[in-house]
Structure 1
């Protein structure tokens, strides 16, 4: 039996060459922008516990620290204070520590909400860009704004699907971790070694299985269902229904695709990493020279100016490397996506998302 996952590798390379070459800078920059969004992104940060400001001026135990005012005589022995601010019923100003806690809590909440809004917006743009990327490969033309407007509805469906899938995955992961607590008898501080090892082993296997299932569902949606939604006009649910029938009819072909796509993905990652490192070194040479000139030049004015100038040059270097790295990823991701669509069309002609590209490739091969 012919395995399409093997036969279509060379054609995927040819399709990538036909799409991206001869080299055009504007086309590659557009692809780099799209690849940046579909590649996703993450950021980490931390917020210190501003509630600890309430301990300022003390040792944290409730007793005054050195240099603080403290009462050394009973209140009855103190002279009366005529200031009305100390009389019964006078308003007492809020403690600075309480005000600091309230401000700190507001800042934390605002930061969390802002992060969530940005993350959701980025996730939605990533979903729409999936359709823009695939549409570009199908039509062999790149029109970012045009495709964004055309597929904003489909992008919303994909965003919702990913959101629900992520929630389900997270819920199952939490449930698997909670199972350790239940199996250990509700006491993780002193469980028996055999029970703990056994439960951890079960949880580890369960987590690996969940990751595999999640990866397959998400991956098949991106490389198979999204092209079907574009080419056939199917909705996301209808696309998965069509794909499910094909999966049941040709399980060996899809299993072969999964295996070879993983192998090719590893190879592509290695190639991309090496290329990015080489590019980083090459780009670092001119930026390093400019940074030294700017840093030393401005340091004659002040050390702060020299440091600021060098920092600006370094930030520009990072920005250029971000663009270069995504330009390197563009042909690699194009190859993997063409490979998936070629395999899908060979397995099931009715689901072929790139019939024109396929005919062009095979007509060139027959010449």
Structure 2
């Protein structure tokens, strides 16, 4: 009786979430190599000719603000010398900047780029109401949760019969229907854990408090909260070049990835990536009143919960192991599409068989 109920649940969950899961998985697959696709589609807008040295930061700031009429909020530097720097402005637009010449290559809204559209669809289904809220994002998390439940039910159904391990086999010479069934079970079981973790890591971006509680419970530790110092302007600020140089002098072997400018305060911050980090979570803060470093945070050697939480983004997108994990994640991201379609096929075949009998 329980098996029958779970089979029905397995079917119903797939049927209810099928369209949304297909959208999430396909858009997620595009995002795995989204930046590379975007650069390939319009290389002149995203790539530059490398030179021996970049311009001074103050010169770059002057060029951007003169071209756009808006102040800079953040600059995202690039590891590859032939990539344009991304500059985000206070008017919520962005520019691609040639750091060697100061040329503004492209002025745009993030939501209008190839990557931006796919990202907004993947995380929020594009919709934003008049209050700037994105109410549809909850459906993304619900679909991710349903995928986790669906996988767990599938694992239970696989484990219930005797000798479940013998069912994890693929006979490539079998009839197409039998081969499809074997692939459905085998791939679903083997890939269950990474799929659950990918789905859960996606939920962390929308259900932060609940997922943090899960992480803290499973790791028996707390997540370190990093707070920026509060620095008010007390007089003329030092030049951005001096503040920038202070951050560079205090990298301690890290790579500067993002530079945030003072906004309603006197604080410049640099987000840096240490050698043992997969993503830049370490910080450096400079008081623009004096040009001195006032605080730094190194994300390494933190609690297990903090390390797990900080790892969630690179795990979700599969970038932590270079092209190997990105290709693997591309396959994993599309796997639910195969499972939904093959499961639907088996259901239709059973229904037709039942009508004939």
TM-score (norm 1): 0.23
Q: Which protein has the larger Cα radius of gyration, Structure 1 or Structure 2?
A: 1
By relative contact order (CA 8 Å, sep 6+), the higher-ranking structure is 1
- Which TM-score applies when normalising by structure 2? 0.24
